[in-house]
Homo-oligomer: A and B are copies of this chain.
């Protein structure tokens, strides 16, 4: 990829604005920022000049009786192209828009891993006038939480291999080990490795693997844990292998869960950053969207909801959060896993759509991530928009399935034709949704006030979703039923299991894991498992190749098609253009 293509790529991804116009690097009073989220100064622990952690005492006690609960809003999307449709940018813009309307508001986001910063991406956390600052902290280390996850994960890996080395008292069957190692780096050479070579004192030789840290079960556990005690218990339940009798071996069995909790203790506190317009943003945990939940942490949402509950003197504020990929993936897990843990119920769901994505779902173009869009796609073409609308309409139906009336945000790019934007809005309105065009990248919060008004209206007029009937499945459903219900939501005619997947599910049911939730790991680029199937495909069956157990996180995940858990670098990675200006200390080359 050339430099131009890189830049073009970055533009596509975020809506086309020039970047760098908002530095946001000036010092900020962190207690003033926290107060905007209703968080008292004694809970604000600075980590560097522009970032604070919020201590967990901010959670206690619970909302007082009679308080008006904060308005919880989830931001999701239609099936995105490989570039993404600016969901994070819209969430940031909406937070800024609500603040511009005088509402109290906080946004919760996932922490992006550092590895991809040096690959194609070159940075995350919004773009243009709708971005999280300080961007350097957001993209590099932040307060070290991802590193803590790496360390805790690899401590368990080392204890496991050490156990094999010192006689294997638990009788672990090496061939059943499913616990990889992790690193926050795009390093394809680590996908498949052999460890324990050398002499007798250098461990037990076996095949092993590395994932990128966001794919760690420890990361999703961090995102779901409701307290230190819950974290400790979940870590103990992690299953790493089976013994020669077929019994599951856990982190607790290996005596590693306490030390892992010690490593993770401080990382359980969410991080306070801000938007370019000074709206509080809690950035916390970053589980993968394919094999995990793709949602930021329960604790951050609870901290924000606690702070923004209405009091005698202040009206309730807004807690915005984002769910990864399309509504079929992140939103389903948001309801069936995250809200099931947190007990929180959103009052509104925003569905981000773009003209580009609708046109891509016409099935008439080949869109490849990291390459330029086909030139033809940029020409005015209402027929393309209408042909791809089935995908948006399907996502509206998915949102309604969770008991929510969707608000459609059309993320307008400078290259979009007004007639196309109007056509998207017309179709969405025709389906009964509230609709607002947004221009977060070029206009910031000002470009999102119409969306803010629609969200305010939805929160005032609609019932909260997500409870009871708002779930896709019940805990008592067996695992095959749960998977079948998710597949049916996607539009599949049925589910086909490989023999090993079927056997694994039987083992899970037999051994007491039948009550767990499910994650269907598939491509985010289609409602189906096949990225080539655009629109709202029908007449297909979901093939489950393999099932894995994430007992600490509380789900099994069904792998459908190939899922990469360790990215590689491109031939010219962003690392080549990232540097530091030694005279100013400024980092250059981050997007």
Contacts and interface: CB of A to CB of B under 8 A. Distances in A.
A66 interface: no
Contacts of A159: 569, 573, 575
Interface in A151-208: 151, 154-155, 157-159, 161-162, 165-167, 181, 183-198, 201-204, 207-208
Contacts of A53: 48
Interface in A212-235: 227-229, 232
A139 to B, nearest CB: 9
A158 B154 CA distance: 18
Interface residues of A, number: 80
Contacts of A414: none
Given A162-B188, A573-B159, A195 B193 contact: yes
A36 B183 CA distance: 39
B580 A228 contact: yes
A165 B572 CA distance: 12
A47 B256 CA distance: 28
Contacts of A261: 579-580
Number of copies: 2
A185 B228 contact: no
Contacts of A193: 193-197
Contact of A579 (B158, B259, B580): B259
A38 B315 CA distance: 48
A157 B232 contact: no
Contact of A48 (B49, B263, B266): B266
A150 B192 CA distance: 20
A221 to B, nearest CB: 14
Interface string A14-58: 000000000000000000000000000000011111000100100
A568 B228 contact: no
A56 B587 CA distance: 16
Interface string A313-357: 000000000000000000000000000000000000000000000
A195 to B, nearest CB: 4
B262 A140 contact: yes
Contact of A578 (B48, B208, B262): B262
B191 A258 contact: no
A309 to B, nearest CB: 25
Contacts of A155: 118, 185, 575
A379 interface: no
A143 interface: yes
A141 interface: yes
A151 B162 CA distance: 24
A170 to B, nearest CB: 13
Nearest to A229: B582
A576 interface: yes
Contacts of A545: none
Q: Which of A48, A158, A189 has the most B CB atoms < 10 Å from its CB?
A: A189
A192 B198 contact: yes
A571 interface: yes
A114 interface: yes
Contacts of A197: 191-194, 207
Interface string A549-591: 0000000000000000000110101111111101101010110
A265 interface: yes
A150 B197 CA distance: 22
A355 to B, nearest CB: 33
Contacts of A395: none
Contacts of A369: none
A44 to B, nearest CB: 10
Given A162-B188, A189-B202, A262 B154 contact: no
Contact of A151 (B185, B202, B582): B185
A157 B118 contact: no
Nearest to A51: B47
A144 interface: yes
A486 interface: no
A23 to B, nearest CB: 16
B587 A262 contact: yes
A189 B166 contact: no
A531 to B, nearest CB: 16
A9 interface: no
A185 B158 contact: yes
A114 B147 CA distance: 12
A283 to B, nearest CB: 15
24 contacts: A46-B48, A47-B48, A118-B155, A140-B262, A144-B144, A147-B147, A147-B150, A151-B184, A157-B187, A158-B569, A159-B569, A161-B188, A162-B189, A162-B573, A188-B196, A188-B203, A189-B195, A189-B208, A193-B194, A194-B194, A194-B197, A262-B587, A262-B589, A265-B585
Given A151-B185, A158-B185, 20 more contacts: A47-B48, A141-B263, A143-B144, A144-B144, A154-B185, A154-B187, A157-B185, A157-B187, A158-B569, A159-B569, A159-B573, A162-B189, A189-B196, A192-B196, A228-B580, A228-B582, A229-B583, A258-B575, A259-B579, A265-B587
Q: Which 3 residue pairs spanning A and B have beta carbons closest together?
A: A258-B579, A189-B203, A144-B144
